[in-house]
Amino acid sequence: WHSLGVTSREELDLNSTLTCGQSFRWKAVNTGEFIGVLGLFIVRLRQDDEGIFFAYHPCTVSKEEMFRLLHDYFQLDVSLTRLYEHWKGGPSPTAIQEEFTAASACIKGLRILRQPPEECLFSFVCSQNNNIKRIAGMIEKLATNYGHFIAKVDNTKHYSFPSVATLARAKEQKLRDLGFGYRAKYITAAARELVARN
């Protein structure tokens, strides 16, 4: 395990951030531990009283490069503590700032992830009239059926998120058969539009 250099849950709380519905590739495997796919890597994250630690597979990049990738993904160059203080206002906070102060107690350490744009877009398409568990299942189906196999870890096969070009070639009926319903046409249409624009 390698340290991510974060010791305060007020700066990053893995449980809040990875389960709030902004990313669907992370699964809790133990208390305070998650496994997920980030690009072409299977990443394990663990948070305890000592801080946040990571491990990854395959080890085709240095731990320093993975450290930088995770810092960028979690936007750790931004101080949440400073932002929260700014958003709470000074000695004379506005009504909105007072509401934020009350709400912020429930969302300490919740960060906006810098996700790969394509994965974020197709997750959004899958989110229509859906819940987190079902969206996660759909994203996993896209990866399993259209992504590249990375490795098997803990008896689970892990796949990359598919490229836009691969999704543009997907058949709408196959996506419907996989359980995407009416979203199937939007997935293929969005992918084809992105390919056409590039």
Task: Render pLDDT for 105-162 as a digit per residue (tens, 0 to 9).
Answer: 888 899 999 999 999 999 999 998 889 999 999 999 999 999 999 999 989 999 999 9
Lowest mean pLDDT among 25-39, 77-91, 162-176: 77-91
pLDDT at 97: 85
Q: What is the pTM of this model?
A: 0.89
Q: How much is the pLDDT for 34?
A: 96
| Cβ atoms within 10 Å of 134's Cβ, excluding its own | 14
pLDDT mean over 186-197 = 96
Instruction: Write down the pLDDT at residue 80.
Output: 92
Q: How many CB atoms lie within 10 A of CB 95?
A: 8
pLDDT at residue 99 is higher than 90: no
- Taking CB atoms within 8 Å and a gap of at least 24, the contacts of 64-70 are 66/2, 66/41, 67/2, 67/4, 67/5, 69/38, 69/39, 69/41, 70/4, 70/38, 70/43
Per-residue pLDDT at 91 exceeds 80: no
Mean pLDDT of 6-15: 94
Write the pLDDT tens digit of every residue in 14-72: 999 999 999 999 999 987 899 999 999 999 999 999 999 999 998 888 999 999 999 99
